[in-house]
């Protein structure tokens, strides 16, 4: 007798059914997987922005300079191990945004041109805020030109044109804590002076009719303050310290010698 082997396998209908089930599963699983990948990549980029912000503050407190939107990437690269293009762009090659509040120093909207400390600020910064922006799907939008538009991004209001999402991250940087007020008083009719870091030696107002001459300035954290005795500009250096909080100094006398001290 001839034995006929029974043929095994799937019928066409069964294959169509399996493919239909696989298609349904893929339509459910794949979007979730892609979304999870977007979230993971965005979380990693958020961490990158935190690191960039830390390096920015390091630069500000060592160079006593705040960069503009044109120079921020190069100055951060100078204090980090990253090349400039990896600071200005995210891992997908899209440009990050560096937004500075247009009212950083002033009560009116002004394009921030950067700041380098010389003799100190006579008034405190108005809104010393910066936002880092990174979009994993495209280049960051141009920086806002008004403080109102900057506020909308900072506060993530519905009117903002830059809203955080699974693929767009922002990091807020408030620099107000880096500026310390210093009050310098002069009881003498002669002119003592002060110096910030290696900048110019600057004279102080003299006493007038028994009223102390005074100068209030705001300096960046860890500024080296050097106090010179009179006369300006050849007075002897008497006191040098690093500013890490608000402080005040008086140029007065013990009846014999004129010297700097804390009042």
Domains of the chain in start order, with CATH, are: 37-174 (no CATH), 178-261 (2.60.40)
**Of the candidates 173, 149, 171, 202, the residue with the CA atom closest to the CA atom of residue 67:** 173
pLDDT at 190 over 90: yes
* pLDDT band at residue 7 using 50, 70 and 90 as cut-offs: low
Query: Are 154 and 131 a contacting pair, CB within 8 Å?
Result: yes
pLDDT in tens, 25-39: 666 665 665 556 667
* pLDDT band at residue 166 using 50, 70 and 90 as cut-offs: confident
Distance of alpha carbon 63 from alpha carbon 67, whole angstroms:
10
**Of the candidates 254, 248, 197, the residue with the CA atom closest to the CA atom of residue 220:** 197
* pLDDT band at residue 1 using 50, 70 and 90 as cut-offs: very low
pLDDT in tens, 246-255: 999 999 999 9
Helix, strand, coil shares of the chain as percentages rounded to 5? 30, 30, 45
* pLDDT band at residue 168 using 50, 70 and 90 as cut-offs: very high
- Residue 92: CB atoms within 10 Å: 13
């Amino acid at each position: 007798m001839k034995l006929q082997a029974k043929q095994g396998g799937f019928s066409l209908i069964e294959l169509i059914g399996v493919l239909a089930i696989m298609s349904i599963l893929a339509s459910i699983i794949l979007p979730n997987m892609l979304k999870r990948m977007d979230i993971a990549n965005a979380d990693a980029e958020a961490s990158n922005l935190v690191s960039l912000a830390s390096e920015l503050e390091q630069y500000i407190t060592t160079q006593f300079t705040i960069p503009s939107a044109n120079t921020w990437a190069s100055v951060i690269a100078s204090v980090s191990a990253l090349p400039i293009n990896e600071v200005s762009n995210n891992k997908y090659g899209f440009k990050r945004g560096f937004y500075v509040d247009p009212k950083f120093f002033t009560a009116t909207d002004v394009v921030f041109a950067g700041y380098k400390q010389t003799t100190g600020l006579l008034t405190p910064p108005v809104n010393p805020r910066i936002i880092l922006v990174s979009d994993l799907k495209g280049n960051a939008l141009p920086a806002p030109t008004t403080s109102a538009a900057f506020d909308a991004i900072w506060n993530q209001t519905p009117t903002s044109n830059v809203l955080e999402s699974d693929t767009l991250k922002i990091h807020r940087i408030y620099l107000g804590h880096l500026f310390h007020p210093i009050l310098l008083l002069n009881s003498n009719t002669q002119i003592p002076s002060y110096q910030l870091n290696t900048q110019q030696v600057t004279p102080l107002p003299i006493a007038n009719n028994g009223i102390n001459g005074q100068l209030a300035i705001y300096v960046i954290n860890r500024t080296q303050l050097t106090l010179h005795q009179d006369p300006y500009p050849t007075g002897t250096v008497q006191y040098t310290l690093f500013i890490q909080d608000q402080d005040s100094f008086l140029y007065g006398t013990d009846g014999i010698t004129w010297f700097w001290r804390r009042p």
